[in-house]
Each structure stands twice: as structure tokens, then as C-alpha cells.
Amino acid sequence: MAAGVLIAMVCACLGVLVILKRVVFIGVTLAESAALGVALSLSLGLPPLLGASLLSLAVVGLLSLPFQSARLPRETLLGVIFVTASSLAVLVVAGSGFGLHEVKTLLYGDLILTGPGDLALVAAVLLPLAGLLLLFRRPLFYTFLDREAARVLGIRVRAWELLFFACLGLAISASARSAGSLLVFCYLVAPSSLGLLLSRSMGWAMLAAGASAVLGTLGGLALSLAVDLPANQTVAAVLAGLLAGAALARLLSGLRRPRGKQTDQWKSGPGRPTHNARA
């Protein structure tokens, strides 16, 4: 429960920026890369976080290269990395001496099997990352809401983007062993989408995302124990149900989002002006 709540809150808040940046596929690609790193580390007798972090940061560094003049877009590289990492993770565990249960746990994670050492490792990585996100929230918000306006304000956009994706890669790497790639990706997408549906400011969106992620985690764990279902998949299904309920409630309330860019209505925090009013 403690590991699930911590992973849920941090990944949900990071997911808000991932969705606003329209780079959702980076999340699942990093999650699969981290799963491959865990598989390689366990096969070689190394700490799982080491392999997951190295592979995730390598992918982040590769994606940070300029693609403006490349023949193939960045999304093509993401697709290739995703397919390669997914395939190699299965091949690595298939060629190892792990049993079926260990293979399923390695590929899909299992919050129920999180031990004190796993929790300590997750907390040691995610809590400082949450502190960095809170400390540098203003330049990150400006960078992700309006890249050109951030440059006018003197913000080093490329450096902040690289820092964010490095933090994202580390967060996914620390979470991959316990939560697995499926649940980590769900945390990045479902609660953050709910927060963006229910709020028009970044601060409230992150609060709603974190709260819904925690609620879905605790509810999913309770349901999985009550009816004897896999924990991670049950949590993901509950989070998807919460998102569907929020979308239905918003539809019934008669709210209509203005046309145009999705980011045009966002504020950098409660009570702050939108970037269209920055002048």
C-alpha cells in the first residue's frame, strides 16, 4: 500500500506534464525500457534499479537529440525502442532460470510482493524527485505550457525539458520493479487525464491527479484482495473506471472546453493568468 501510494502520487503528477507536452508514448517506451533493464539486471545478478535507470536514461539521451532535419520523426524511434524493449524483455526472462511466477512478476510487476527494501528504494528515489518537481514547478510549467513564451522570458527550455525527462526516467525505473510497466503507464495517463478534465489550472490538476491515483490504488488493492484478482491489473482497471466516471460527469455537467489548443486555457497555478494574458 505504501509503495503503491507513493508511486501513484509522483507518477500522476509527472503525467500531467507528459500529457500537456503530448508525449504520452514516451511514458510507455520508458516503462518498457525500464522493464528490460530490470530483466537484464536480475539475469546478471545486479541491482534492478541500476539496469532500469541506465536504460531509461540512455533512451532519454537518445530522444534529446535534434530530429528536425531527420528523415524519420521522433515517434518512429519511440516505436522501434518500444517494440525492441518489449521483445528483449520477454526473451531475456525466457532464457533465464526464472519460473513462471517470477517471469510474470518481472514483466508485469506485483505491488503485493513489495518488500521493505523495495519500499525504501522507491522512497529514496521518488521523494527527492517530488521535491525537485515542487521546487522548480514554475520554470517547468512555463516550459510545458508555452515553449516560445518561456524562451522570451529567458527560460532555458531545452535544459528544463531534459531535466524533466531524466526525472521521469528515474521515477519509472524506481517504480518498474514493484508496479510493472502496465501500471506505471496507467499512473502516467489515467489519473493525470482525470485531473486535466476536472481542473483548468496546473496546481489543481496535479492535486486532482494525485488524489485520484491514491484513491484508485487503495480501492484497487482492496478489491483485488476481496475477490482474489491480480493486484496491479485491478488497480489499473479501477483507475480507468474513475477516469470514465470523471469524463461522464463532465459531459453531464454541460461544460464545454473552448476550441483551439488544449494548453490555451491552462494556468501555471491557482489564480495565475493564462499564457495568452502574459503581456
Identify whether the C-beta of residue 162 lies closer than 8 Å to the C-beta of residue 136: no
pTM: 0.77
DSSP H helices, 95-156, are 100-108, 116-135, 137-145, 147-152
Checking if the pLDDT of 268 tops 50, the result is: no
**Apex 10 CA angle, 177 and 149, nearest 5:** 130
Residue 210 is part of which domain span? Answer: 2-277
- Model pLDDT for residues 139-158, shown as the tens digit of each residue: 888 887 777 777 887 888 88
pLDDT value of residue 99: 55
pLDDT score recorded for residue 275: 42
Q: How many domains does the chain have?
A: 1
Which one is predicted more confidently, 96 or 160? 160
Torsion over CA of 145, 65, 192 and 27, rounded to 10 degrees? 170
Q: Which three cell numbers stand for residue 179?
A: 508496479
Residues 76-106 pLDDT 10s: 888 888 888 888 887 887 776 665 565 566 6
With cut-offs at 50, 70 and 90, classify the pLDDT of residue 136.
confident
| pLDDT of 267 above 70 | no
C-alpha grid cell for residue 264? 490555451
Distance CA 131, CA 114 (A): 23
Q: Is the model more confident about 69 or about 168?
A: 168
Confidence check: pLDDT of 26 > 80 = yes
Cβ(33)–Cβ(81) below 8 Å: yes
> What CATH number should be reported for the domain holding residue 219?
1.10.3470.10
